[in-house]
Amino acid sequence: MLFAQNDKSFYKKKSTLNLSGNLINLSSPVVMGILNVTPDSFFDGGVYTNESTIVKRAAQILEEGGQFIDIGAMSTRPGAKEISLQEELDRLLPAVRAVKHEFPEACLSVDTYRSEVIERVYNEIGSFIVNDISGGTFDDGIFETVAHLHLPYILMHTKGRSDSMQKSPVYEDVVKEIILFFAAQVQKLKLLGVCDIIIDPGFGFGKTTDHNFELLNRLDAFKLFELPVLVGISRKAMIWRTLDVTPDESLNGTTVFNTLAISGGANILRVHDVMEAVETVKLVGKIKYISK
């Protein structure tokens, strides 16, 4: 049964995220809108590349009910080439400045795995959420940087870098391996004093389609960490390849999977289509409420 009547943890779990003294309630799922300022992201690459389009997209995310705006300046899709630090900064800094100027109260997340980028963005706009697709494995200084600046941190699992991660990834048990990875990395973060940690299993990052389906089916296994869980499956290949459609045609599949993710305990949905995800959260919440 999709929503078991005796599963009341959806409403009873109290989770908060401290962003510069502001407590964000994650006891019910919230939506993170994607703002890629990249020319080569798999779905919206090249769309938001000047201040006008960037600000317009940020406004859309907020107007449609997004809690967070996640800004990324380097594509991490499978096969993407790594860009230089300077190129990432040249794309990212004008974007975060523009969004922060227009929407000073907005909760921003920055998609990067470089500690120097984190420091430069912090010097520009103050506190934000660090969204690290490498889970601390690409930059040895990133945990210390996050701890020093007292920033919330999204700890994502990946298996390899973007240009190689989808070349026949192998797991004996994908969920068990990711749990062991999270256990080790969470311990390191907590020893450094990082309290606001979100875990992300990393759908599509060094996983086959079958691995992704296994993760979604067993998402509730990550509840053992008692940490907020982020799920980013928006318009990914596990959807459109299974349905034999294109990413442009995969909104319906995304909504189905977001529904399953909430049922499995997701606290944050990272999406391209904010309004549809917000509606999904509202409807699933209603079903959970009446089934208590």
Catalytic residues: 236, 270
Nearest CA-CA partner of 125 in 92, 153, 87, 156: 92
User: Which residue in 35, 41, 38, 25 sits closest to 61, CA to CA?
Assistant: 35
Q: Chain-centre distance of CA 108, in angstroms?
A: 12
CB 54 within 8 A of CB 98: yes
- Pairing state between β 22-25 and 16-19: antiparallel
Question: How far is Cα 184 from Cα 143, in angstroms, rounded to an integer?
Answer: 13
Structure-block tokens of residue 10: 């959806």
Nearest to 72 by CA among 38, 114, 33, 23: 38
CA dihedral 6, 202, 23, 261 (to 10 degrees): -30
Residues with Cβ within 8 Å of 42's Cβ and at least 6 positions away in sequence, in order, are: 75, 77, 235, 247
CA 267 from centre of chain: 10
**What's the one-letter identity of residue 7?**
D
Instruction: Say if residues 17 and 227 touch (Cβ distance below 8 Å).
Output: no
Residue 232: name the closest of 10, 49, 15, 77 by CA. Answer: 77
Task: Give 150's DSSP letter.
Answer: T
